[in-house]
Structure 1
Amino acid sequence: MFTVAAATLTVSAVAQPAGPGSSISSSGLPLPRFVSLKSDRVNMRQGPGTDYPTAWVYRRAGLPLEVVREFEGWRQVRDADGSAGWVLQSFLSGRRTALVLPWEIKQGQKAPKVALRRNDSERSAAVAMIEAGVIANLVSCDSRWCLVNIDKYQGYIEQKKLWGVYEGEVLR
């Protein structure tokens, strides 16, 4: 059995469904919705424009973010920690990724792990043990389990253990 840590990941593209209670935005896409970062360096600003100060710099391509509002070429996003701000749309991708157990990460403590299962069952054998904070590439979700790719591994993780997919959401 292998352990996959947060520093060893890749991302891939999949379809973009709507979130719960979604509406259609000016771009024609649903709000809210999940997206991911295209780049390893993306500024999150305090408002929709380069005149606004940088509130945060993301340094992790593939990181999932939730788009909650749009204004021209800017998207108001929220991350797994609840931080919100504005990102230029060109730095965002429609590919779907998710963070494994981000709410379980505690500073100074060893990251908990979750089994990446061969099949969509708790009784299924573990393919690898995945640390909290790892980015998973979403392949599909059936509202209970998600088929994901993480580094060179593929398997199933319970949907409720992922941030980047809505409760009850189905992805194909």
Structure 2
Amino acid sequence: MIKKLLQGFLFGIGFMVAVLLIISLLNLSGISFTNESKVVNSGASEAYKDKTDWRELNLTDKIEKTSGLALLRFNERENKYMAAYVEKVFTNDKSVKLPVVVGQRIEKSDYYAHEGHLNNRNGVLFIYSGNPPKKMEGAYLYNDRLVGLQDMPLNLFIEKFKALSDN
């Protein structure tokens, strides 16, 4: 009986040593079992932090920090497929070059319309900040109102942006 107990005890110790060795090897290769996160790509984490900070801004601050806008409109294709194209581009400074141009197709903004959405979702406004500009937000337009930005009318948003650009 004691012999079986000792065998089980030795097996347990051997098993624990094997598990510890495996964990050590995984940690050496960069895989961690702790709550600490390792930054692999600082550019990606910076972009995430920028967008997180952006979301916390109020609407006035967002407009003030905006360096460019790209207005997308939809063209209906077959089966109510709505294809998005850049209709207008606005910048607050001639040195700001947005990564989109008028007439460019933006496939990520395409969608299939259904019933009531066919007529009232009529565009997307991409908002860029900084120079070089980074896309910070995309707001859908429903009847030319920015529903994600306090339901502000598109024309008012552009007016406020242009007013700040003139100063």
Q: Give the alignment's TM-score, normalised by structure 1.
A: 0.23
Structure showing greater Rg? 2
Greater strand proportion: 1
Q: Give the alignment's TM-score, normalised by structure 2.
A: 0.24
